Structure 1
């Protein structure tokens, strides 16, 4: 089994098995999660294809399967369904078992607006760096959507993301070359800030944040769509 495949399998295994836990009942979210991962994933995959074409990043064929579609190994396509599944599962586990695990609306605003301003400044100063530009513009848009969302997703997500970061760091460290020869995914540092958290480009943290947040926000919209209308 290729390393990239194994990473995805082990990432999804426990969250999938525990999806049927009575308190969490995450399987009930599948109806809104599936279209969300497809819709949000399509945006990321589109730019993924462009970035591979332009040499912003690429994949080591030694670590993925031979099935490649539009320059992306099949594992990369599955990444945008399986990793959000595992991460959003953590978010809902925390919500189920720790219902007060949230911050206030004022705290959300006090965190969000400075982050947005900092990200805008970083983009303005690094407009020539493709990964930095794409990543932080998308992150700003995701946070702004979260601020205007009425379901309070950001109130929980700012905290749950700190927990999500633990498996994220382990998975991304492997993908970017920790404990292996070479890397599963390589990055062109001319297209990012060149700052690494271990072997992980610092942009990947924002990438993960926006990917999961956009999925949660999309799920919320699909849940409203599926909710029976009152007469």
Structure 2
């Protein structure tokens, strides 16, 4: 059964959120199509990034915990990861925003976002010899700049708040993937490719990588939701 551990991680990540999607007071099921459009749009570049890094040996997967099916060199479980994790995160964002009425970015938020951009770019430059660190912090900094100052997305503060709330389940899920509580890690990293700073067994880059992925999922989810309503 351990060969299905990564499948189990994906399943238990999504199942509760999926069931509650049909709750009459939530009805997130009405937004499955916009989510799928957003999820697939974001998954494509992240899967290509994933496949490239896997081919380069920057990270690799432990067959002990995999069913054995691969596409582009990636386990099928890894493909599912890019739908299951964003689904749960977008659902949580939708739920909290719906019932708590989270505040949009205020004018002062631009200073915090600008600082975050500079910090990401500075880390990317300082650690430019580490491929995972470089690409993660560089693209996250550029994503924040693009979303805030070009695409005028005013939900970055809300996404950041929700992501902070999700850090505990993130630590559990990503902890299992990186070896917390199991004999061997499901996902292994080349120590020369990242800073070496870990939260338990989780490289700090993973948290930033996840934040960037969720930012784009939420942004595109609401863009596709607007079109869905207009054509509904």
Distance (whole Å) between structure 2 residues aligned to residue 88 and residue 226 of structure 1: 16
User: What is the correspondence of 1:1-231 to structure 2 with a 5 Å cutoff?
Assistant: 1=1, 2-99=4-101, 101-102=102-103, 104-148=105-149, 149-150=151-152, 152-228=154-230
8 Å CA contact 1:132–1:191 kept in 2: the answer is yes
TM-score by length of 2: 0.93
Distance (whole Å) between structure 2 residues aligned to residue 32 and residue 67 of structure 1: 28
TM-score by length of 1: 0.93
Distance (whole Å) between structure 1 residues aligned to residue 158 and residue 190 of structure 2: 34
CA root-mean-square deviation: 1.5
Give the CA deviation at 1:55: 0.6
Distance (whole Å) between structure 2 residues aligned to residue 36 and residue 60 of structure 1: 29
Distance (whole Å) between structure 2 residues aligned to residue 87 and residue 220 of structure 1: 13
Matched residue count:
228
Specify whether residues 144 and 24 from structure 1 end up closer, same or farther in structure 2 by C-alpha distance, changes over 3 A only: farther
Distance (whole Å) between structure 2 residues aligned to residue 151 and residue 193 of structure 1: 30
Gaps of 5+ in 1: none
Distance (whole Å) between structure 2 residues aligned to residue 107 and residue 180 of structure 1: 44
Distance (whole Å) between structure 1 residues aligned to residue 201 and residue 194 of structure 2: 13
Per-residue CA deviations over 1:89-119 (Å, capped at 9, x if unaligned) read: 11111111211x3364234212211111111
